Amino acid sequence: MHHANHYYGHSYVLARYCGFDADPPRIQGYLQHGWNIGDGLAPDHEFVPGVPTFVWSERTRRRAFSMGRRDVHVVGAPWAYLTRMEPDTPQQQREGTIWYPFHGWEGQHVEGDHDRLIAEIRDTEPGPVTVCLYWQEYRTVRVRRRYEQAGFRVICHGYRGGWWKDLDPDFLSRQLAEQRRHVRVASNRLCSAIFYGVLAGCEPAVYGDPMQLRGEQDLFGGRSRIRRQWADLHGPTIDVATARDIAADELGADRTLSAAELRHLFHWTTA
């Protein structure tokens, strides 16, 4: 199994949906692990030609086909399965905003003005703010303390896992529980967390300095294409009904499969 199939506990969520109690069996193919505007696969990963790809949405499948990939299957995002397995039973009133600053990945560095972003968050958000940092930024004390000193609650959902080590089957469950505590979900870039938050019942917002990775290259049209193609999802206030329709489409919430269908695609034997 490609190690990225385990990111954020995705393989565990799908295995649980299919009735497996132990570690997930080997997925015979590559599973999309984050929202992107390309073919669903990470551009920095090497892939073996001819191995099946399992993507979240029909839109992504069509893009992959246009890029020459043929053995591509729409299965829906693991998040879409999780929200069904763990239905919302609110035990407390939702309050405030969960805010996800744009982050890098291992070995990447974000360049931007955190202080200016903090000021804009203060001016925009109507209630208490929880800032969720990626594990790299959370461990960077000078970054974390900026948000703490601004009076925000600062958290981290955890480490996504990598190379079959430090795997976290409960990553998405923690993220879902946190998002369901909040009225709004926001970020300075359109990202998986925004779509997740919408499916979790939050009102979305995308605003502020988008920041950038050091030496960032805008693949597949990059930031300008995202703002152009998903213009309805940018701004401090977004129409919730429109956001829900788009999120359901991008996460394939209307394309999820039965447990039997998923086991067949992944070549998983009976649980």
User: Mind listing the pLDDT tens digit for each residue in 182-209?
Assistant: 999 999 999 999 999 999 999 999 999 8
Q: Which two tokens stand for residue 169?
A: 């089957």
Percent of the chain with pLDDT over 90: 63
Per-residue pLDDT reduced to its tens digit, 82-104? 999 998 887 779 999 999 999 76
Distance CA 3, CA 165 (A): 9
Mean of the per-residue pLDDT values for the chain?
A: 89
Is 30 in a helix, a strand, or coil? strand
E strand intervals along 184-233: 184-187, 203-206, 212-213
* Helical residues (DSSP H) of the chain, grouped into ranges: 10-17, 58-66, 78-85, 114-124, 135-139, 141-149, 171-179, 192-199, 222-229, 240-250, 259-266
Banded model confidence at residue 163, pLDDT cuts 50, 70, 90: low
**Contact 217/129 with Cβ under 8 angstroms?**
no
Residue 100 bridge partners (DSSP): 187
Helix (H, G, I), strand (E, B) or coil at 231: helix
pTM for this model (two decimals): 0.93
Nearest CA-CA partner of 136 in 163, 114, 104:
104
**pLDDT class for 113, splitting at 50, 70, 90?**
confident
Q: How many CB atoms lie within 10 A of CB 170?
A: 13
Number of other residues whose CB lies within 10 A of the CB of residue 94: 16
Q: 97-250 belongs to which CATH class? A: alpha beta
| CA separation for the pair 153, 35 (Å, rounded) | 26
The residue that leads in pLDDT, 101 or 166, is 101
Q: Which two tokens stand for residue 134?
A: 């990626």
Q: How confident is the model at residue 135 (pLDDT cuts 50, 70, 90)?
A: confident
Distances 130 to 70, 121, 125, 127, 140 between C-alpha atoms, Å: 42, 11, 11, 10, 17
- Res. 68 pLDDT band, cuts 50 70 90: confident
Mean pLDDT confidence for 246-255? 96
Enumerate the domain spans of the chain. Answer: 3-85+253-266, 97-250
